[in-house]
Amino acid sequence: MDRDALIAHLATSDKLEWRKSRQRNAAPDAEIVTWTPAATLVTKAGTPALCLGLSSTGRWLCCAQGAETILDFDSVQNYWCMFSLLEKSPDNAVEVIRSELATHGLDEAWIEHIPFQHIVVAALESGSKFWPDLALDWVPYIGSSTQIVTALQMLHRHGRTQLQRHRAQKLLAKMRAIGD
């Protein structure tokens, strides 16, 4: 569904629970953001890790459970808060988010507008030993793009572990074979 149509539906829905929060790391007099919860993501350990929300203007937000501030991660291009999503398989993550969207009265078409590619690229480029390994599992789901290829090339050269470097090289070779 078209993003503008989804935003228009947000504005007219009377079933949504609207909250007001300040943007994380914002000045005390910064604008208050109106948003609605969209999904709660749970870690492998079974604890709630993250509340995913939508602003009244259709921007994806995240907040820690119980936190009074939110982060518009896409506008600041800081995707760390979304890395726990990578602990799930892509299919499972999409299924969980789709179910959560329905629970919160939101159209499942919103899932098409989650910046999965940006989250995966950020994790590949994170310099961590843990997150790039999970992001590599997501690459086949995301597919090839200039940003993915660039991140894989960097990981192939500078990955923290030999396994990361080899996995990145293997994915790059598959992408080249498909592209030929």
User: CB-based burial of residue 143 (10 Å sphere; 0-12 exposed, 13-18 middle, 19+ buried)?
Assistant: exposed
Q: Which residue ranges make up each domain of the chain?
A: 1-114, 115-180
pTM over 0.85: yes
pLDDT of residue 178: 85
> What does the pLDDT look like over 117-171, one tens digit per residue?
999 999 999 999 999 999 999 999 999 999 999 999 999 999 999 999 999 999 9
> What does the pLDDT look like over 9-68, one tens digit per residue?
998 988 899 999 888 777 777 788 999 999 988 777 666 667 899 999 999 999 866 667
Q: 125 to each of 81, 92, 130, 173, how far by Cα in Å?
A: 15, 23, 11, 19
> What does the pLDDT look like over 95-106, one tens digit per residue?
999 999 999 999
d(CA 152, CA 169): 7
DSSP string, 38-50: EEEEE-TTSSEEE
Q: Any idea what DSSP says for residue 157?
A: H
Q: Is the pLDDT of residue 180 over 60?
A: no
